[in-house]
Amino acid sequence: MAKDCSFDVVSEVDMQEVDNAVNQAKKEIGTRYDFRGSKAEISLEGDTIKIIGDDEYKLNAIIDVLKGKMIKRNVAIKNLDYGKVEPAAGATVRQVITIKKGITKENAKEVVKAIKNMKIKVQASIQEDQVRVSGKDKDDLQAVIQMLKQLDIPVELQFVNFRS
């Protein structure tokens, strides 16, 4: 009798790598000529990154530096949720970026629906902030992974805990 194989679809962010990217961005902002004398600031507090700049142009430049550092450290920038730009003290502007962890219920339902639309013999179940996919054939599970990689979901998906 064949055993079931399974894997979990998750959306995780390595917070140590995010911290390293923020620290590298701070260093670069501190040494760049176009930020000399400005009130450019970036800080990581829990699951949020707070950015302060003199104006929206400087704020966007800081975000570009941060994105570059995150990409180099293999952190998915798809998992960043940008808040609105708001005025801050001392004629500066502030933006809060929230780091999304886990798959929301809506995204999980979309993943399960896409798997069911493939019409292959696998089962998908939502378990808190992840989706477990199981089936008898490993090749079916590989096909599901390939399909999910092409699916347009607002968070980066990882495939972990593969069991056979």
pLDDT (0 to 100) of residue 129 = 86
Q: Answer whether 0.85 is exceeded by the pTM.
A: no
Q: Can you say whether the dihedral through the CA atoms of 105, 111, 117, 121 is positive or negative?
A: negative
Give the pLDDT confidence score for residue 25 in this predicted structure: 92
Architecture of the domain defined by 5-12+103-163: 2-Layer Sandwich (3.30)
Query: How many angstroms separate the CA atoms of 144 and 117, rounded?
Result: 11
- Which amino acid is located at 63 in the chain? I
* Fold: same for 5-12+103-163 and 15-99: yes
Rama region for 5: left / alpha / beta (φ>0; ψ in -120 to 50; rest): beta
For residue 81, the surrounding DSSP H or E stretch is strand 80-82
Q: Are 143 and 120 in contact (CB under 8 A)?
A: yes
Task: Enumerate residues 6+ apart whose C-beta is below 8 A from 117.
Answer: none
Structure-block tokens of residue 125? 């179940």
Report whether 145 contacts 103 (CB < 8 A).
no
Give the whole-angstrom CA distance, residue 115 versus residue 112. Answer: 5
pLDDT of residue 1: 37
- Residue 90 in contact with residue 52, Cβ under 8 Å? no
CATH pick for 15-99 out of 3.40.640.10, 3.30.70.990, 3.90.700.10, 2.120.10.80? 3.30.70.990
Please name the amino acid found at residue 15. M
What is the block-wise mean pLDDT of the chain (164 residues), using blocks of 10 residues?
A: 75 90 92 85 91 89 92 89 86 90 87 85 85 86 86 83 79
DSSP conformational letter for 162: E
146 phi and psi angles, rounded to 5 deg: -60, -40
Domain range list for the chain:
5-12+103-163, 15-99
